[in-house]
Amino acid sequence: MTLTRQSSRSKLDTRPATGRATRTSKRISSSEEDQQPTKRHKTAGSDHQTAAKNTPSQPTARRTASQRLTIDKSNLDHLGKKKATTETPSKSPKKTTTKSRTIRKKLPLLDGSYILKYVLKGHTEFNVPVRDKDDTEDSKDIWCCEFEPVASDVGPFGRQKPGDLQSFALCGSYTVLFADPALGRYTKKYTHSEIQEIFYCMAWTRLEGQELLDGSLLDDGDEVGFCNILAVAGRVGSVKLLNPLQNDCYRYLFGHQKAILAMTFSKTEPRWLFTASADKTVRLWDIGSPTKKMDDSLCLAEFILPPRSGDPSAVSISYDLSRLIVGCNNGDMVEFNLSSSQLDKYRKSAKTFRSDRAKGNKHQAVPHVGSSTKYPAGDEWHEGYVDDVCILGQDGDEKSALYNTIVSRGSADMEILVWDPANSTKTDADIRLSLDWPDAADCTGLKFKVIEAAGQKVLLAGDYDGQIYIYDIGNEKESRTLKDGSKEQFEPKRVSVVPGINVPH
């Protein structure tokens, strides 16, 4: 089925690129353990410009009509309040280190075994909004799926127990579904009032204690408030902030002129939300307090993409907030650098705004920020649609050799790159790792996840044949430069096949 979507401001063609030129790649059958490399070859496809026009591209073009999700054990935490605990030196949290050595438990993703427990169908055809004879929305498309954040590892919120399950949300059409893995079913459904909306992206954040900006939750000294917030957005161009407990949209963020295609929250500033739009800008928002009736959110900055760049398709902010990377649908990547003085100005601006808000004063104009570096599409970088980007180090481990390096992939590539922006230029990529990836026939919309814990880094990505590729990227290995100038490629640590689910081509 071919879908052509009519935006309120522009057409979004979701058809996957076809007729691509055959890419050649010389491969050696190997595994990561024996370190036998495959070669990194990049040959420009003749349909490169065609693939770049899809905004956004269909992430489910080669999946079955009814979306299926595989659920494994994770964590579940609910919105509400928890008792604060007062730690004493004699009752400090347990540490995993001793004087002689560090005890490090391997992530179960690398060596654990899994079974398929549930298969859940996503959105149904009953809420398909028909706009006109040439524009229908197949609401079976699931554009994004994200797990709810859990409590901090330390402090008054560190009550998460091993084996606890974590809820997740997914979006499609103008609805959001919330699922409970423990029950194996959906528990809530949020339906937006604007039937012209199609949610393309979502992001969770967890506000704890002072981040709530509500001192009334801390008055008695015995209770500390916390709350998980889900931000969703799509082709209408406004951000919706959802309260999962009350299952409603409590706030809108207006400012973008076209569809919002990607978003992410900062780990170190949980109220800071970065949204990337087809209007060629990325906005930084302080979403304010979810418990106050008065809207205390504001836009702190607007990052302007360079001329002739594509529409943004992926975005990531570093843990230390020093670097913002944006991937585009034409293969470009754009980097913005943030100084400590800039970040301090944003924090001061938010504080001043909330003080003036109580006095009825208006906020000043949003500052504009220009890009620092543009990594252009081509042989050295990415070809086609940049599916996803991620700045490593979200666990705050500055000692890691991969801290602030970037993972990215283009739709016409047969690899996933881990590269260092500190030593890269517009014409030369400092590639730390090249990860072998099967030819996806130019299907776009691939998303991957990087799990960073216990000093380890694991990358997970699902292909269009229903397989899950798991890479160990934190094992201190690097791709060597071979005699012909190409880079060796590492195969996944393991490939998991979901039993009983066949995905036709």
Indicate if the pLDDT at residue 34 is higher than 50: no
Segment 408-421 mean pLDDT: 93
Task: Determine contact, residues 280/288, Cβ cutoff 8 Å.
Answer: no
Give the containing element (helix H, strand E) for 132.
strand 130-132
Is the predicted pLDDT of residue 44 greater than 50, yes or no?
no
**Mean pLDDT, rounded, for 426-449:** 85
Average pLDDT value for the chain: 75
Render pLDDT for 357-369 as a digit per residue (tens, 0 to 9).
665 556 668 999 9
> Once rounded to an integer, what is the mean pLDDT over residues 190-213?
90
Structure tokens at 350: 């938010």
Average pLDDT over residues 437-453: 81
Q: Given a cut of 80, is residue 19 above it in pLDDT?
A: no
Cβ atoms of 173 and 235 closer than 8 Å: no
What is the mean pLDDT of the segment spanning 113-117?
80
**Peptide bond connecting 312 to the previous residue in cis, omega within 30 degrees of 0:** no
What is the per-residue pLDDT for 439?
Answer: 73
> What's the pLDDT score for residue 499?
62
| Angstrom distance (rounded) from CA 288 to CA 57 | 32
Residue at 290: amino acid letter:
P
Where does the pLDDT of residue 135 fall: very low under 50, low under 70, confident under 90, or very high at 90 and above? low
The predicted structure's pLDDT at residue 107: 76
Q: What is the pLDDT, as a whole number, of residue 441?
A: 64
**pLDDT the model gives residue 123:** 65
Asked whether residue 117 carries a pLDDT value surpassing 70, the answer given is yes
The DSSP output letter for 38 is E
> Which has more confidence, 360 or 20?
360
Over residues 189-193, the mean pLDDT reads 90
Place of tokens 């230029």: 425
CA separation, residue 412 to residues 43, 310, 386, 439, 469 (Å):
9, 16, 9, 8, 18
Mean pLDDT, residues 306-321 taken together? 95
Query: How would you classify the pairing of strands 119-121 and 68-70?
Result: antiparallel
Mean pLDDT of 113-127: 72
Spatial separation of the C-alpha atoms in residues 265 and 153, rounded to whole Å = 19
Mean local confidence (pLDDT), 387-403: 95
CA dist., res. 96 & res. 79, Å (int): 29
- Model confidence band, residue 280 (pLDDT cutoffs 50, 70, 90): very high
Task: Please tell me the predicted confidence (pLDDT) of residue 362.
Answer: 61
CA diameter of the chain = 71
The least confident of 117-131, 200-214, 306-320, 337-351 is 117-131
Domains and CATH numbers, the chain: 38-81+103-497 (2.130.10.10)
pLDDT at 152 over 70: no
- 109-113, 235-239, 311-315, 396-400: which range is least confident on average? 109-113
Q: Return the pLDDT at 440.
A: 65
Q: Quick check: 48 pLDDT over 60?
A: no
Query: How much of the chain exceeds pLDDT 70, in percent?
Result: 67
Map residue 89 onto helix, strand or coil: helix
pLDDT number for residue 10: 34
Average pLDDT over residues 49-77: 35
Phi, psi torsion values for 214, nearest 5 degrees? -135, 95
How much is the pTM? Answer: 0.77
Residue, of 383 and 332, whose pLDDT is higher: 332
Element (H, E) at 27: none
Give ∠ CA 333-337-342 in degrees, rounded to 5: 145
Q: What pLDDT sits at residue 47? A: 38
Residues contacting 142, CB < 8 A, separation 6+:
59, 60, 67, 122, 123, 170, 171, 172
Give the integer Cα–Cα distance in Å for 500 and 471: 24
Band of pLDDT at residue 446, cut at 50, 70 and 90:
confident
- When mean pLDDT is compared across 227-231, 310-314, 481-485, the lowest value belongs to 481-485
> Which H or E run contains 51?
helix 48-51
Does residue 269 surpass a pLDDT of 90?
yes
Residue 100 is predicted with a pLDDT of: 41
The yes-or-no verdict on residue 222 having pLDDT over 80 is no
Query: Which is it for the CA torsion 275, 322, 435, 470, positive or negative?
Result: negative
Q: Is the dihedral of CA 397, 400, 403, 408 positive or negative?
A: negative
Q: Which is higher by pLDDT, 23 or 150?
A: 150
With bands split at pLDDT 50, 70 and 90, how would you rate the model's confidence at 465? confident
Q: Between 81 and 373, name the one with better pLDDT.
A: 373
Maximum mean pLDDT: which of 138-152, 203-217, 374-388: 374-388
Residue 218 is predicted with a pLDDT of 55
The predicted model gives 26-31 an average pLDDT of 34
Residue 1 has pLDDT above 80, yes or no: no
Tell me, what's the pLDDT at 395? 92
Q: What is the pLDDT of residue 354?
A: 86
Task: Indicate if the pLDDT at residue 195 is higher than 70.
Answer: yes
Once rounded to an integer, what is the mean pLDDT over residues 447-458?
Answer: 90
pLDDT at residue 231 in the model: 97
Residue 272 pLDDT greater than 50, yes or no? yes
Average pLDDT (179-190) is 88
